[in-house]
Structure 1
Amino acid sequence: MKLEPTAIWARLDQFEAGARSHGVTHTTFRRITEALHLSGLQRNDLQQLLNRGCPKQYATPLWRIA
């Protein structure tokens, strides 16, 4: 299944807001994939999308919660 960028960014914003409320500063791409209800097979595509859209949040190998 192809990722829909607009939907991904909206759902990521919700995930990050919840994570921030719990004091989370970084997360794995696996956790983001699970939280967005995506297939593990889509993880690489998701990571590429996020890294292109917000490269400063990519803190190898983690994603920095903005």
Structure 2
Amino acid sequence: MKDRTIASLKIAKGQWPAIQRETRVSYSWLCKLAQGQFADASSDKIERVYRALVRRGLAEPQVDFSDCA
């Protein structure tokens, strides 16, 4: 998910201020994530950013088959 989030975040650069407000993640954190400066970024923050990107149509939803058994 991290790689998808970074790729989509780079495409959405003009929308970072809105994504920052929606996710409550700092703008500088978004910049650092997009630049790949985090070897082990918080999965919670990445998920919040990813979900915001999906809501904006900037990332494909990740398919989850965990409840299909």
- Normalising by structure 2, we get a TM-score of 0.29
The structure where strand makes up a greater share of residues is 1
After TM superposition, the score normalised by the length of structure 1 is: 0.30
Q: Which has the larger radius of gyration?
A: 2
